[in-house]
């Protein structure tokens, strides 16, 4: 496509005159110069240059306006004649700034991914600029998007901004064409880049010229990983002198950062992933300066530089990508909520190790909080707990709470607990006599312990714990738990030990149920002969019991059951 190209120069005479073809030429600069001369000589009130590219596949010409000027092209009110300039860039060199390159990368992301080039390469390669112009509307749409965005903050008409941007872009493109034709961009091998940096470091246009050389050095790279590998190879032979070394390092770092900021390039470097969680784990691994088994050569070398705290701009690009992915709507694991939460927790535990000058704690917390917010919606959480058993519904809510952050998110999550606890199915589940009583009590105690460890506000924790204790107490009353223990054959020692096992074995909820158990334990301790019976029951056959040791063990057991040593000693009867 696009092997035959010519340029048509049109002119307009008079305020209402139409366009007439003035000349057809084969050279771009010749056509633009001709149009400018027509305006300078007052032979036209408006001129434009149109690039015509013949498409061999379709047999059609692709038309693209590359230059326009005219006295009556855009009508401007007198009050706006001296309005402040609305452009983000004022001269061609501004297009090479960080923010300008980021904007170009966003607007031309598909083109850059398709051609496997970075913005820096595009801005320094005449063949790629030619290809961009040949795409037709893509180039103009990019300019129009910027113009519309700028017009929102100014009174200047969109048409005027489009005109100014076209002029600016045309100057920048013509500069690259001219410098390419004049041999300003050398095409050195890797061994020549250090001498070139030393030669150019004193030149006012050193960055522009050196990046042009880098763009041509990368021209024959086989994919993104090969580009990274070629760039990092230059760092192994960077000059020792400060100025040329800074020139080389900053240029290499900037291009690698552009590669890492692109979705297509990053996907190619990291390789295929099962889901976003898997891909983010790879990205975090790279950010921490580590590599996974089987990593490509360029990626492995890049991780080594990160481990040595090199390439700050590239590492910042990875950090920004991690934050951006966390803020995105895409699920880490769209199929399973449990795996989603586990992946979130695992990534959080790893990424905190990289908090520092490249990744702020505040940005990380904000990203995790936003992702947590998307997990406590009715759609996500409702689907997760819908088919679970009554007790498992609460268990799953507590699992979510343990893996999200943000006070507001936890408050929102807490609102799902009351409907679960107050549902008839939940109460019936723990009142079911077909299940062993102790099994039901243990489950309620486990759930209560999880709630007490949770990050819900105190009021919520107390309400949930009280509800669980009420259900446990009701179950114990219906099952005559304490009555059956008291009615057993045996003395106070055996009965107290039975209750102590329940209290210390996580079988009783804190509240009314545990208080009832402690009350009965103290009652058994106070019965005559308890202490002597306790010592005798723990003595080995034929040996004198170690009373001091046994007493210490009893006090420790009482402490675990929630009875202080002082209270226990006062209650024990000899």
My answer on whether 86 and 166 are in the same domain is yes
Residues 6+ apart with CB under 8 A from 167: 67, 69
Tens of pLDDT along 69-78? Answer: 876 544 444 4
Backbone angles phi, psi at 332, to 5 degrees: -65, -40
Across 17-31, 119-133, 394-408, 415-429, least confident range: 17-31
My answer on whether 69 and 48 are in the same domain is yes
What is the rounded distance in angstroms from the CA atom of residue 390 to the CA atom of residue 396?
10
**Residue at 148 is within a domain:** yes
Q: Where are the beta strands (DSSP E) in 156-247?
A: none
- Supply 448's token pair: 């209560």
pLDDT-derived band at 378 (thresholds 50, 70, 90) equals confident
Which own/partner contact pairs does 541-548 have at CB distance under 8 Å and 24+ positions apart?
A: none
Tens of pLDDT along 450-475? Answer: 999 999 999 999 999 999 999 999 99
CA 67 to chain centre: 41
pLDDT at 55 (0 to 100):
64
pLDDT at 16 (0 to 100):
63
My answer on whether 64 and 96 are in the same domain is no
Cα 417 to Cα 140, 339, 456, distances in angstroms: 55, 22, 11
What is the rounded distance in angstroms from the CA atom of residue 243 to the CA atom of residue 156?
42
Cα 160 to Cα 15, 84, 163, 167, distances in angstroms: 17, 12, 5, 11
pLDDT at 119 (0 to 100):
92
DSSP codes of every residue in 258-301: HHHH-HHHHHHHH---SSHHHHHHHHHHHHTT---TT--HHHHH
**Mean pLDDT for the chain?**
85
Q: Of 129, 147, 175, which residue constitutes the final position of a domain?
A: 175
pLDDT at 136 (0 to 100):
67
My answer on whether 112 and 155 are in the same domain is yes
pLDDT at 82 (0 to 100):
37
pLDDT at 259 (0 to 100):
93
Q: Where are the alpha helices (DSSP H) in 52-108?
A: 98-107
Domains held by the chain: number: 3
What is the rounded distance in angstroms from the CA atom of residue 113 to the CA atom of residue 107?
12
My answer on whether 67 and 91 are in the same domain is no
pLDDT at 2 (0 to 100):
43
Instruction: Count Cβ atoms below 10 Å from residue 530 Cβ, excluding itself.
Output: 19
Q: Of 73, 88, 111, which residue constitutes the final position of a domain?
A: 73
**Residue at 244 is within a domain:** no
For 12, the enclosing helix (H) or strand (E) is strand 4-12
Residue 63: strand, helix, or coil = strand
My answer on whether 86 and 168 are in the same domain is yes
**Residue at 456 is within a domain:** no
Q: Is 30 a residue whose pLDDT tops 80?
A: yes
pLDDT at 124 (0 to 100):
92
My answer on whether 112 and 25 are in the same domain is no
**Residue at 253 is within a domain:** no
Residue 131: strand, helix, or coil = helix
More confident residue, 43 or 208: 208
pLDDT at 72 (0 to 100):
52
- Supply 172's token pair: 């920048």
More confident residue, 85 or 100: 100
pLDDT at 57 (0 to 100):
61
pLDDT at 3 (0 to 100):
53
Share of the chain above pLDDT 70, in %: 92
Q: Which domain holds residue 143?
A: 78-175
pLDDT-derived band at 287 (thresholds 50, 70, 90) equals very high
Q: What share of the chain is helix, strand, coil (3-state, %, to 5)?
A: 65, 5, 30
My answer on whether 69 and 82 are in the same domain is no
Cα 221 to Cα 115, 212, 214, 225, 226, distances in angstroms: 12, 15, 11, 9, 6
**Residue at 362 is within a domain:** no
Strand order in the sheet with 61-70: 20-25, 4-12, 46-54, 61-70
Q: Is 176 a residue whose pLDDT tops 50?
A: yes
> Nearest to residue 506, comparing CAs of 430, 449, 562?
449
My answer on whether 60 and 35 are in the same domain is yes
pLDDT at 343 (0 to 100):
87
Tens of pLDDT along 293-346? Answer: 878 888 999 999 999 998 999 999 999 999 988 888 888 887 788 888 888 888
Backbone angles phi, psi at 67, to 5 degrees: -155, 140
Across 49-58, 156-165, 504-513, least confident range: 49-58
My answer on whether 513 and 488 are in the same domain is yes
**Residue at 422 is within a domain:** no
Tens of pLDDT along 210-266? Answer: 999 999 999 988 889 999 999 999 998 888 899 999 999 999 999 999 999 988 888
pLDDT at 274 (0 to 100):
86
Burial 101-140 (b: 16+ CB within 10 A, else e): bebbbebbeebbbebbbbbbbbbbbbebbbbbbbbeeebb
My answer on whether 52 and 86 are in the same domain is no
Q: Is 500 a residue whose pLDDT tops 90?
A: yes
My answer on whether 128 and 166 are in the same domain is yes
Share of the chain above pLDDT 90, in %: 37
**Residue at 521 is within a domain:** yes
Q: Of 73, 92, 113, which residue constitutes the final position of a domain?
A: 73
What is the rounded distance in angstroms from the CA atom of residue 25 to the CA atom of residue 9?
8
What is the rounded distance in angstroms from the CA atom of residue 20 to the CA atom of residue 23?
9
Backbone angles phi, psi at 21, to 5 degrees: -70, 125
Q: In sequence order, what are the beta bridge partners of 11?
A: 20, 47
**Residue at 117 is within a domain:** yes
């Amino acid at each position: 496509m696009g092997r035959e190209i010519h340029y048509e120069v049109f002119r307009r005479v008079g305020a209402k005159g139409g366009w007439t073809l003035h000349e057809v030429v084969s050279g771009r600069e010749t056509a633009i110069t001709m149009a400018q001369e027509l305006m300078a000589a007052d032979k036209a009130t408006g001129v434009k240059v149109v690039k015509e590219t013949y498409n061999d596949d379709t047999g059609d010409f692709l038309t693209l306006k590359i230059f326009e000027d005219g006295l009556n092209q855009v009508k401007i009110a007198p009050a706006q004649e001296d309005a402040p300039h609305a452009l983000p860039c004022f001269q061609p060199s501004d297009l090479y700034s960080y923010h300008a390159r980021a904007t170009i990368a966003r607007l031309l992301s598909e083109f850059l991914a398709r051609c496997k080039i970075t913005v820096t390469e595009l801005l320094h390669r005449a063949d790629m600029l030619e290809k961009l112009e040949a795409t037709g509307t893509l180039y103009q749409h990019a300019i129009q998007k910027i113009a519309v965005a700028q017009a929102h903050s100014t009174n200047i008409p969109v048409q005027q901004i489009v005109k100014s941007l076209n002029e600016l872009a045309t100057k920048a493109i013509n500069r690259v064409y001219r410098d390419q034709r004049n041999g300003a961009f050398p095409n050195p091998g890797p061994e020549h880049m250090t001498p070139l940096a030393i030669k150019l470091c004193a030149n006012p246009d050193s960055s522009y010229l050196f990046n042009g050389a880098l763009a041509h050095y990368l021209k024959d790279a086989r994919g993104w990983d090969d580009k990274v590998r070629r760039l990092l190879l230059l760092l192994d032979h960077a000059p020792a002198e400060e100025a040329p070394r800074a020139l080389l390092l900053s240029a290499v770092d900037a291009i690698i950062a552009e590669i890492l900021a692109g979705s297509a390039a990053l996907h190619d470097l990291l390789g295929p992933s099962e889901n976003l969680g898997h891909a983010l784990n790879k990205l975090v691994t790279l950010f921490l300066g580590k590599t996974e088994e089987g990593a490509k050569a360029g990626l492995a070398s890049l991780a080594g530089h990160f481990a040595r705290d090199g390439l700050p701009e590239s590492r910042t690009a990875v950090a920004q990508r991690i934050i951006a992915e966390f803020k995105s709507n895409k699920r880490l694991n769209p199929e399973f909520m449990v795996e989603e939460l586990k992946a979130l927790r695992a990534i959080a535990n790893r990424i905190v190790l990289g908090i520092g000058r490249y990744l702020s704690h505040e940005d990380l917390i904000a990203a995790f909080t936003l992702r947590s917010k998307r997990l406590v919606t009715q759609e996500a959480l409702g689907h997760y707990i819908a088919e679970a058993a009554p007790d498992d519904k609460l268990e799953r809510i507590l699992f979510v709470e343990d893996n999200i952050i943000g006070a507001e998110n936890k408050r929102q999550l807490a609102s799902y607990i009351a409907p679960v606890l107050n549902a008839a199915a939940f109460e019936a589940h723990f009142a079911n006599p077909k299940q062993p009583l102790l099994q039901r009590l243990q489950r309620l105690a486990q759930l209560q312990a999880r709630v007490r460890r949770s990050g819900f506000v105190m009021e919520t924790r107390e309400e949930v714990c009280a509800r669980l204790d009420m259900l446990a107490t009701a179950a114990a009353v219906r099952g005559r738990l304490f009555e059956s223990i008291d009615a057993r054959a045996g003395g106070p020692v055996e009965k107290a030990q039975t209750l102590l096992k329940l209290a210390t074995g996580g079988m009783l909820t804190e509240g009314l149920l545990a208080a009832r158990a402690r009350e009965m334990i103290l009652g058994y301790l106070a019965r005559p002969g308890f202490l002597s019976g306790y010592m005798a029951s723990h003595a080995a056959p034929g040996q004198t019991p170690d009373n001091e040791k046994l007493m210490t063990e009893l006090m420790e057991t009482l402490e675990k059951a929630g009875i202080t040593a002082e209270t226990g000693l006062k209650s024990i009867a000899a």
